Each structure stands twice: as structure tokens, then as C-alpha cells.
């Protein structure tokens, strides 16, 4: 099994737990690291399935494009929004945190669907 895929599953559990926790819900400082971790691991899992040798050699958008080509990802608008939120969260922060918070459960489900797709399809190379 792709190690990043196993790590992604654990990170998704932590993100879901944080979303369900009344003490943590809507706390930007707590949710953003969980979201960034899930996004980074999703890209790493895609890279691992593609068997690309150099970790981090390409930007995340490269791996998302390849995952769409492979049929592992659907819902392009959501993944573009997720990528934009990831970029904002790593740079200047997310200005509309309430909007981000409303999108986060949908992102969680998209991450889960990606994990299921990667687990279902055999690794391939040369896409």
C-alpha cells in the first residue's frame, strides 16, 4: 500500500474529529493545519501511485492534473477551490474563514473519495 495513502486516512480521521468537536469547530488555528496536512498527503498519495521518484519535484497542481487524467479525481471545481484555499492558507491566510469552514466538510468527502479511488485502482506509471 502507498504509505502516503495510509497517512492520508489517518489525517482525514483527525480532520473529521476536529470538525465534529464543538471546542475546535471554527477555530482557524486548529483546522487549517489539518486541512493543509490532508491536501499535502493527497498530493503525495497521488505522486506515490504514479511512482514518481522525486518527492516534491512538482507543484501540487501537477499531481492534481495527473489524477484527473487517471480518473482518480472528479469534481474539478471543488478541487480547484480546494487548491486555492490551500495556497491561501500557506501564504497569507484565508480571508473568508466562514466560507472555508462551510466548504471543509465537502473537502473532507472529496479527500475520502480520492483515497477510495487510489485504493481501488492499481498503481500505474507513465501517464
Residue ranges of domains in the chain? 3-120
How far is residue 38's CA from residue 124's CA, in Å, rounded to a whole number?
22
* Of the options 1.20.120.330, 3.30.200.20, 1.20.58.1610, 2.40.30.10, the CATH number for the domain spanning 3-120: 1.20.120.330
From the list 47, 60, 51, the residue with the least C-alpha distance to 89 is 60
How far is residue 81's CA from residue 14's CA, in Å, rounded to a whole number?
21
| Residues with Cβ within 8 Å of residue 116, at least 6 apart in sequence | none
Write out the chain's pLDDT in tens, 127 residues: 688 889 999 999 999 998 888 776 667 778 899 999 999 999 999 988 887 554 457 889 999 999 999 899 999 999 999 999 999 988 777 888 889 989 999 999 999 999 999 888 755 444 4
User: CB of 79 within 8 A of CB of 62?
Assistant: no
Grid cell at residue 21? 468537536
Cell 486548529, residue located: 30
Residue 21 in 3-state DSSP? coil
How far is residue 17's CA from residue 82's CA, in Å, rounded to a whole number?
19
Q: Give pTM, 2 decimals.
A: 0.86
User: CB of 121 within 8 A of CB of 72?
Assistant: yes
Amino acid at each position: 500500500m502507498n504509505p502516503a495513502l495510509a497517512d492520508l486516512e489517518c489525517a482525514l480521521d483527525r480532520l473529521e474529529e476536529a470538525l465534529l468537536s464543538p471546542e475546535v469547530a471554527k477555530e482557524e488555528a486548529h483546522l487549517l493545519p489539518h486541512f493543509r496536512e490532508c491536501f499535502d498527503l493527497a498530493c503525495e498519495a497521488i505522486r506515490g501511485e504514479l511512482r514518481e521518484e522525486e518527492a516534491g519535484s512538482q507543484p501540487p497542481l501537477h499531481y492534481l492534473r495527473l489524477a484527473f487524467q487517471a480518473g482518480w479525481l472528479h469534481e474539478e471545481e471543488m478541487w480547484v477551490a480546494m487548491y486555492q484555499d490551500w495556497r491561501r492558507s500557506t501564504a497569507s491566510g484565508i480571508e473568508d474563514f466562514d466560507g472555508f469552514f462551510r466548504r471543509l466538510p465537502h473537502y473532507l468527502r472529496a479527500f475520502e473519495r480520492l483515497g477510495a479511488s487510489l485504493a481501488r485502482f492499481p498503481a500505474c506509471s507513465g501517464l
